[in-house]
């Protein structure tokens, strides 16, 4: 790479050095002869203007949010630049200039909604989104096909790659988005590292990498050398494939860019010392430490929805027991026996709201709520939860089932207890294979997914209340 930073030579010449004071000298840092400045500016403008098909412009904003802007940029001799993106139908024109101060700079000096809008304040971002309009040239490749610039204020990275073909249409980008959707044939997406990190085709290193074109997000989860790592990157698409807003760093290796292999019909890792490919699976390939312990820490999780056999058996149970309104999974439930609100969610008796110490220790289990004369009751099935691994558990039915209606009318509890569909549903949850727990937090809502280890198409989702 050719470094663009000016090399400043400061030559101190004096006849009597020891007799001179530093104030006698005027430092001429970052100055070059005018002719050389004009020649350098002309050279870089010719590089920008000279690309027949323009430049693939990728802007990695360096701010509190990870954001990537991808445009096709065409620089004109008249100091105008045309930017086209997937989100705007027609190219947007604005002005640019190149000038030299301490560094050689590329400045977008009039408003362009594809780029300079990122530096403007808005209701969501009073100080702007961390975008720059003035960039310092950092390097140009030997063949003049890649230019790297750095934002003057926020230091985001702007990369220009010379287009070798007509990329004025974004149909290719849409096709890359479609290809990712076609690859997601199961609930989870993963990256198999087949070379590097001690991996091979036979024994790959597996990373959970759930890529969503709809949410423009890439969630990663993996276990490596005894440690668990997770996080989120922005996912963006371009004419050559897709990329992440910043690299996933593992040891000295980086994971960021992917290109689609048409023959193998899969995305593969590129621009990295690692080799690997994206694939789908019904179960995650990582284990999250501490999830089981978190689950056992005084939770009430209401069944929100289910799929597969869980759904079939749940519906059969509900039809056979129309009195049952909802199902809540509880762990270490040391409170007074709760009533239920109008939606079937467990609540404490208001008169004893803070009386935890003397509350009935119900332990772990299932609450099946029902309503009679506007009062909520429940049938409780105690369970024993056993950890299989960090995020996998088994449920076991234990003795001690009871119904809060039995003191007044035992018929309700007996009808539930002796119902075959009810028992089939509970016994299925207590299958020998066990369940994978997936904790999801979105928009301050906490969901817990339980996915069958024997048949991952069977799952039920609960929500924390």
pLDDT in tens, 142-179: 999 999 999 999 999 999 999 999 999 999 999 999 99
C-alpha distances out from residue 220 to 246, 283, 311, Å: 12, 14, 29
The 3-state DSSP class for residue 258 equals strand
How does the average pLDDT of the chain come out, rounded? 85
Question: What is the residue-wise DSSP string for 57-96?
Answer: EEEEEESSSEEEEEEEEEE-TTSEEEEEETTEEEEEEEEE
The 3-state DSSP class for residue 173 equals helix
Chosen CATH of 17-162 out of 2.40.128, 1.10.357, 1.10.3470, 3.30.390 = 2.40.128
Q: How far apart are CA 27 and CA 20, in angstroms?
A: 14
Closest by CA to 176, choosing from 63, 102, 261, is 261
Are 17-162 and 171-281 equal in CATH topology?
yes
Whether residue 95 contacts residue 81, with contact meaning beta carbons closer than 8 Å, is answered with yes
Query: Can you give the residue ranges of every domain in the chain?
Result: 17-162, 171-281, 291-464
The 3-state DSSP class for residue 50 equals coil
Burial class (CB in 10 A: 0-12, 13-18, 19+), 95: middle
Closest by CA to 44, choosing from 87, 2, 92, is 2
Q: What is the pLDDT of residues 206-265, one digit of tens each?
A: 999 999 998 899 999 999 998 999 999 999 999 999 999 999 999 999 999 999 999 999
Q: How far apart are CA 150 and CA 134, in angstroms?
A: 8
Question: What is the pLDDT confidence band of residue 335, given thresholds at 50, 70 and 90?
Answer: very low
- Give Cα 314 to chain centroid, integer Å: 32
CATH class of 171-281: mainly beta
Can you give the pLDDT at residue 338?
53
């Amino acid at each position: 790479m050719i470094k663009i930073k000016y090399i400043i030579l400061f030559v101190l010449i004096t006849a009597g050095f020891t007799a001179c004071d530093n104030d006698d000298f005027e430092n001429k840092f970052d100055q070059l002869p005018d002719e050389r400045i004009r020649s350098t500016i002309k050279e870089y403008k010719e590089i920008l203007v000279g690309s027949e098909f323009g430049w693939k412009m990728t802007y990695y904003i360096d701010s509190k949010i990870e954001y990537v802007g991808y445009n096709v940029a065409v620089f004109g001799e008249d100091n105008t630049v045309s930017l086209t993106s997937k989100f705007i139908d027609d190219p947007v024109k604005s002005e640019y200039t190149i000038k030299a101060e301490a560094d050689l700079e590329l400045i977008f000096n009039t408003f362009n909604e594809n780029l300079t809008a990122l530096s403007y304040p808005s209701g969501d971002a009073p100080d702007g989104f961390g975008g720059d309009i003035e960039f310092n040239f950092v390097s140009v490749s030997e063949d003049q096909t890649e230019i790297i610039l750095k934002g003057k204020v926020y230091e985001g990275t702007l990369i220009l790659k010379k287009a070798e073909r007509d990329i004025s249409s974004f149909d290719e980008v849409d096709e890359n988005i479609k290809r990712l959707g076609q690859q997601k044939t199961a609930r989870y997406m993963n990256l198999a590292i087949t070379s590097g990190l001690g991996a091979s085709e036979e024994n790959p290193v597996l990373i959970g990498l759930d890529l969503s074109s709809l949410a423009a997000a890439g969630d990663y989860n993996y276990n490596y050398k005894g440690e668990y790592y997770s996080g989120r990157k922005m996912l963006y698409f371009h004419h050559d494939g897709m990329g992440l807003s910043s690299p996933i760093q593992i040891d000295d290796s980086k994971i960021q860019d992917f290109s689609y292999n048409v023959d193998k019909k899969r995305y593969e890792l590129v621009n990295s010392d690692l080799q690997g490919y994206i694939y789908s699976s019904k179960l995650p390939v990582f284990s999250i430490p501490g999830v089981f312990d978190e689950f056992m820490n005084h939770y009430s999780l209401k069944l929100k929805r289910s799929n597969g056999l869980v759904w079939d058996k749940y519906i059969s149970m509900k039809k056979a027991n129309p009195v049952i309104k909802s199902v809540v999974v509880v762990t270490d439930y040391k409170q007074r026996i709760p009533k239920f609100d109008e939606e079937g969610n467990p609540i404490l008796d208001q008169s004893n709201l803070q009386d935890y110490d003397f509350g009935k220790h119900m332990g772990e289990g299932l609450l099946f709520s029902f309503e009679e004369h506007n009062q909520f009751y429940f049938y409780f099935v105690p369970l024993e939860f056993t950890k299989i691994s960090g995020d996998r558990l088994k449920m076991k039915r234990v003795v001690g089932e009871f119904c809060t209606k039995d003191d007044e009318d035992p018929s309700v509890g007996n009808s539930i207890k002796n119902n075959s569909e009810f028992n089939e549903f509970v016994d299925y949850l207590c299958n020998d294979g066990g369940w994978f727990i997936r904790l999801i937090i979105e928009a301050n809502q906490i969901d817990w997914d339980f996915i069958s280890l024997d048949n991952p198409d069977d799952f039920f989702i609960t929500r924390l209340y």
